[in-house]
Structure 1
Amino acid sequence: MAASSGVPTTLAGTGPFLRSSSSTRTFSFPRSSGAFYRVGTRGPWRKLALRMSPRSDAGVDLEEKQSAGASASALEQFKISADRYMNERSSIGVIGLSVHTAPVEMREKLAVPEAQWTRAIGELCSLNHIEEAAVLSTCNRIEIYVVALSWNRGIREVIDWMAKTSGIPVTELREHLFMLRDTDATKHLFEVAAGLDSLVLGEGQILAQVKQVVRVGQGSGVLGKNIDRMFKDAITTGKRVRNETNISSGAVSVSSAAVELALMKLPKSHSTSARMLVIGAGKMGKLVIKHLAAKGSKSIVVVNRSEERVNAIREEIKDVEIIYKPFTDMFDAAAEADVVFTSTGSATPLFLKEHAEALPPVDKVVGGVRLFVDIAVPRNIGSCVADLEHVRVYNVDDLTEVVEANKEDRLRKAMEAQSIISQELKRFEAWRDSLETVPTIKKLRSHADRIRASELERCLQKIGNDALTKNMKRAIEDLSTGIVNKLLHGPLQHLRCDGNDGRTLDETLENMHALNRMFSLDTEKAIIEQKIKNKVEKTQS
């Protein structure tokens, strides 16, 4: 296969391919360990040739070319190598790891707090082969969405960035990463927004987190047009799935699963009388409090940095006593609790072994074991705490036994959701396909208008300006414009690829290439050169 298609036989710096749709061609890349990575592509394999480095394929070392003159020279060399890159389309991709592929110990090292999303996107977009980027970081996943100028090199750069950011060696990271390309990447995001890829099938919080990516991106202006449109279409998909399939009915969230897990571990006779402590009153903590109240808890201690948020929860939940404690009283509050829920954004553990060991024992009537249920990522409870005899520690990866209970019914609804996802996916692909021919349409019209204007001027000069009235000149100009528009109508119609007709993308691209050749438009090369120029300017700045 490699010999006939030009596909390289190795792909350094990639991870396992989780899923391949029936419409996607896949290629396997053997690794030294004997495992295979699979990378999906839409349409024919596109040769990946451009290397921007810092050393280009043309041998220009950009790090040594800092002056304006040297930059121009480097750009010219890139233009020469752009011929090798003409048939490649920028690829949409997702690289990441989730609760399905990596343990919480690894996910917490890669977690990107919301306050740092903009910085992370800026760093990713500064990579040589990445045009656009977005970060989706939750307790169950860390996913990097990109538009890559060159797939192989772009993916390598993102993985290197992830390794550098987390401190995890690339070789170890590869074992847990998944990556998807183009249609598969878009479909994955739509499934994520619909709750189909969550630990808790159909849970609703992930849709709010996808919305937050768009809000943060719009507020800082860091999302490119492809990523922005993809995330907005994912939100539409998520809403439709929930409204039209009712997949969320009866579904548990991570917070409710945490409460269910705690109650399962307590003696049934004392499940409602056990002393509950919730550390963190954010979205997750608030949901924990709500579910505890729904399960019959009458008094809950809440530790939080400020009392305002706790007061707001009190106003909303009237049937339970909510006792506020500041963070300075956290260990004292834990000493009086049988179950401790943690859901703060702290980057370091709140409880280490010595802290938990210093707590007094729990009464035997509630099992004689203090439960720590940690749903934060990074974790709030150090892993060493689990070594203590009278302590049990649970994190988000331990919720599986709870979510299996009502999974069968939601799986049936998930099948219904796939048809909605397919519809929305087709719409997004049609929109993206329509972008392919826009530069050719503009160049062809501009080319025709220049010819029309030139010939019109020659005609008017021959007739003589004095021989024509303004109305006659306008009529002649309208005539020339009408002739050009009618001549262009057929070619431009054959550049349409918006999903409203039976024309395939390959047919449309064939028409585009033919028009480029016939009219010497050289559109593809101009686009590539502009992209290269933008990246060179970023490198030099």
Structure 2
Amino acid sequence: MATVSGFVSSLSLNNFSEQKLKVEVWKYPRSIQKFSLCYSSSQTRFFDNLRIRKVIPEKQLFVSNPRCEAGSNPKIEAKRSSVSALELLKTSAADRYTKETSSIVVVGLNFRTAPIEVREKLSIPEAQWPQAIGELCALNHIEEAAVLSTCNRMEIYVVALSQHRGVKEVTEWMSKISAVPVSELCQHRFLLYNKDATHHLFEVSAGLDSLVLGEGQILAQVKQVVKTGQGIPGFDRKISGLFKHAITVGKRVRTKTSISTGSVSVSSAAVELALMKLPESSHATARMLVVGAGKMGKLVIKHLAAKGCTKIVVVNRTEDRVSAIRKELENVEIVYLPLSEMLARAAEADVIFTSTASETLLFSKEQVQALPPVSSQIGGRRLFIDISVPRNVGSCVSDVETARVYNVDDLKEIVEANKEDRLHKAMEAQAIIVEEVKQFEAWKDSLETVPTIKKLRAYAERIRSSEFDKCLSKMGDDIPKNKKKAIYDLSIGIANKLLHGPMQHLRCDGNEIRSLSEILENMHALNRIFSLDTEISVLEQKIRAKIEQNQK
């Protein structure tokens, strides 16, 4: 069967430079946006995420019979597509997964790569994170998963049993839940693997990848991922360990550096933007309405109070949260109203902040058109500052002459004004992150000994069981139960004592005196001595089990 690897190797890559490779590949017709390939020479080399404008069409890469190229038979095509993933796996080469290890992968979109119009379609409410983890882990090549969904990012972290297959499955799942075509997702997504994925999450937790450099709210959101994932099947050892370590990194960066000192959050940037758009003379008199009293709404209220606002109207589903905020800000008059009063109060407001989890619009173009105009002292335009994802205010509201709408993507002009002061602090934070990435990678690498331990135990058990059965057959059928048990215990004891030494040299529980490199060297030696690599890899066993389970 013609494959990408075969095509690449046919180019005699041993003598090709990377630039020449790109030129050669561009000669072929048809186009795709992104393409990853690898080839083998004296050493294996990888060109990850190689951007190729023209390659051989995907159909031509996987043609098994040249005679079928002339025409297409729908019945034959349907029969081919019905071949189960399990059958493909069973007929694959014996070492298909032998040289491949599970990978930590992040498939994400954020405020840098995707506009809010795309991000809001992919947003997953916190209450649905466990369901999303379950659906992701039901995919054939996904073993563990976590979801980090905020107003500025939607990132899926997974342990993939196969890197490329895992990315494909996650991307298709994201397309399914959002109705965004895969082709469009590929335009906006970013992909990071293993060490790069770890480094990225540590930057996120430390506030280095935020719209507002050094903001603190993201750390609370990373903590929430761990809290929500506790006890959820699929939020297991590697992913939970990654996020727990990210929390440690976020705390350490904020403790050791002053990156968060004087920094602004998305909520405070929203307040700054509102004041920037209002005439300076109206700052003290502008009528403020806050819709939503959750975490971000609470921060908006606090920042308004810090800017000298003495009266704020808050619309929320219940009064409990507003009462709690009122107790914290005793010098500010905070008026609570239910959601049913929202439009009536909007008619009396000059600036309206929205920060709710509503998946439907709170303000439409027709509703805003019906509102009375604001005072000319305010500028004659009612301001809507929408920091919700999905958005609470329709984008077409900007078409109303007496209104202006700003969303989280419009906060960049505020952020840039505060960014320069903290860039040198970010460099200090990066040094900490590099150190922490090394520690986490060492811990993750130490887990590689687990499959060897399992295979070695299985190998010893097969021999023990076989010899035990041979012994019993030689002794006849009339063996007393107590003698049979004694022989069984003897076989177990011998096997355990023989395994004790090798197992000690594979221990990775943090108490071992050997270095990680020595432990991994021992692991490879045991694999060679007992020919453990010739058995079906643990990775392939997991994939087979998942596919069989999904086909039931």
1:55 aligns with: none
C-alpha distance after superposition, 1:483-509 (max 9, x if no partner) = 8478648xx6488798986665xx866
2:41 aligns with: none
TM-superposed deviation, 1:328: 0.9
- Aligned equivalents of 2:293, 2:302: Cα separation in 1: 11
Confirm or deny: 8 A CA contact 1:133 1:223 kept in the other structure: yes
Q: How does 1:284-433 map to 2 (within 5 A)?
A: 284-433=296-445
C-alpha distance after superposition, 1:210-266 (max 9, x if no partner) = 111111111534412211111111111111111111211100000000001101111
2:211 aligns with: 199
TM-superposed deviation, 1:289: 0.4
TM-superposed deviation, 1:406: 2.5
State yes or no: 1:138 paired with 2:150: yes
- Aligned equivalents of 1:33, 1:373: Cα separation in 2: 43
TM-superposed deviation, 1:480: 6.8
- Unmatched 5+ stretches in structure 2: 37-44, 56-77, 475-486
Q: Alpha carbons of 1:81 and 1:509: their partners in 2 closer, same or farther (altered >3 Å)?
A: farther
- Aligned equivalents of 1:77, 1:152: Cα separation in 2: 15
Q: Alpha carbons of 1:344 and 1:14: their partners in 2 closer, same or farther (altered >3 Å)?
A: farther
TM-superposed deviation, 1:28: 4.5
Q: How does 1:500-519 map to 2 (within 5 A)?
A: 504=517, 512-519=523-530
AA aligned opposite 2:197: A
Of 259, 266, 269, which residue of structure 2 is paired with 1:254? 266
Q: How does 1:160-175 map to 2 (within 5 A)?
A: 160-175=172-187
TM-superposed deviation, 1:372: 0.5
- Aligned equivalents of 1:455, 1:540: Cα separation in 2: 37
TM-superposed deviation, 1:154: 1.5
AA aligned opposite 2:349: A
2:229 aligns with: 217
- Aligned equivalents of 1:75, 1:454: Cα separation in 2: 31
2:59 aligns with: none
C-alpha distance after superposition, 1:333-358 (max 9, x if no partner) = 00000000000111111111111111
TM-superposed deviation, 1:325: 1.2
State yes or no: 1:100 paired with 2:107: no
- The alignment-based identity, stated in percent, is 59
Structure-2-length-normalised TM-score: 0.79
- Aligned equivalents of 1:12, 1:538: Cα separation in 2: 33
C-alpha distance after superposition, 1:136-159 (max 9, x if no partner) = 110000011111122112211211
Of 190, 206, 217, which residue of structure 1 is paired with 2:202? 190
Q: Alpha carbons of 1:106 and 1:62: their partners in 2 closer, same or farther (altered >3 Å)?
A: closer
- Aligned equivalents of 2:501, 2:231: Cα separation in 1: 44
Please say which of residues 216-225 and 190-199 is displaced more in the overlay: 216-225
TM-superposed deviation, 1:456: 12
- Aligned equivalents of 1:83, 1:453: Cα separation in 2: 27
Of 536, 539, 545, which residue of structure 2 is paired with 1:528? 539
- Aligned equivalents of 2:147, 2:248: Cα separation in 1: 19
CA RMSD in angstroms comes to: 3.9
Q: Alpha carbons of 1:292 and 1:517: their partners in 2 closer, same or farther (altered >3 Å)?
A: same
2:50 aligns with: 29
1:279 aligns with: 291
C-alpha distance after superposition, 1:349-386 (max 9, x if no partner) = 11111111111111111222111000000111100000
- Aligned equivalents of 1:256, 1:104: Cα separation in 2: 19
Residue aligned with 1:392, SS: strand
- Aligned equivalents of 1:349, 1:362: Cα separation in 2: 22
TM-superposed deviation, 1:445: 5.6
- Aligned equivalents of 1:26, 1:63: Cα separation in 2: 32
- Unmatched 5+ stretches in structure 1: 17-23, 35-58, 66-70, 462-472
Confirm or deny: 8 A CA contact 1:78 1:532 kept in the other structure: no
Residue aligned with 1:255, SS: helix
- Aligned equivalents of 1:523, 1:310: Cα separation in 2: 64
1:91 aligns with: 103
TM-superposed deviation, 1:427: 1.6
Q: Alpha carbons of 1:161 and 1:452: their partners in 2 closer, same or farther (altered >3 Å)?
A: closer
AA aligned opposite 1:516: N
Confirm or deny: 8 A CA contact 2:102 2:539 kept in the other structure: no
- Aligned equivalents of 1:181, 1:379: Cα separation in 2: 31
AA aligned opposite 1:270: S
Confirm or deny: 8 A CA contact 2:355 2:392 kept in the other structure: yes
Residue aligned with 2:447, SS: helix
Q: Alpha carbons of 1:64 and 1:287: their partners in 2 closer, same or farther (altered >3 Å)?
A: same
AA aligned opposite 2:135: E
TM-superposed deviation, 1:409: 2.5
Please say which of residues 87-96 and 492-501 is displaced more in the overlay: 492-501
Confirm or deny: 8 A CA contact 2:249 2:436 kept in the other structure: yes
TM-superposed deviation, 1:451: 6.9
Residue aligned with 1:359, SS: coil
TM-superposed deviation, 1:164: 2.0
C-alpha distance after superposition, 1:34-89 (max 9, x if no partner) = 9xxxxxxxxxxxxxxxxxxxxxxxx9989688xxxxx9xx5796276452221001
Please say which of residues 277-286 and 509-518 is displaced more in the overlay: 509-518
AA aligned opposite 1:27: D
TM-superposed deviation, 1:400: 1.2
- Aligned equivalents of 1:127, 1:509: Cα separation in 2: 30
AA aligned opposite 2:401: E
Residue aligned with 2:536, SS: helix
TM-superposed deviation, 1:130: 1.5
- Aligned equivalents of 1:80, 1:413: Cα separation in 2: 51
Q: How does 1:434-449 map to 2 (within 5 A)?
A: 434-444=446-456, 447=459
Confirm or deny: 8 A CA contact 1:242 1:248 kept in the other structure: yes
2:193 aligns with: 181
AA aligned opposite 1:394: Y
Of 120, 126, 133, which residue of structure 1 is paired with 2:132? 120
TM-superposed deviation, 1:433: 0.8
- Aligned equivalents of 2:320, 2:421: Cα separation in 1: 40
TM-superposed deviation, 1:437: 1.7
2:276 aligns with: 264
Of 233, 239, 244, which residue of structure 1 is paired with 2:245? 233
- Aligned equivalents of 2:493, 2:113: Cα separation in 1: 65
1:48 aligns with: none
TM-superposed deviation, 1:479: 11
Count of residues in correspondence between the two structures: 493
C-alpha distance after superposition, 1:406-460 (max 9, x if no partner) = 212311111111121112211211111111122223443665688799999999x
Confirm or deny: 8 A CA contact 2:204 2:210 kept in the other structure: yes
Structure-1-length-normalised TM-score: 0.80
C-alpha distance after superposition, 1:180-233 (max 9, x if no partner) = 111111110111011000000010111111111111111534412211111111
Confirm or deny: 8 A CA contact 2:33 2:52 kept in the other structure: no
- Aligned equivalents of 1:159, 1:331: Cα separation in 2: 39
Q: Alpha carbons of 1:327 and 1:488: their partners in 2 closer, same or farther (altered >3 Å)?
A: closer
Residue aligned with 2:96, SS: helix
Confirm or deny: 8 A CA contact 2:442 2:516 kept in the other structure: no
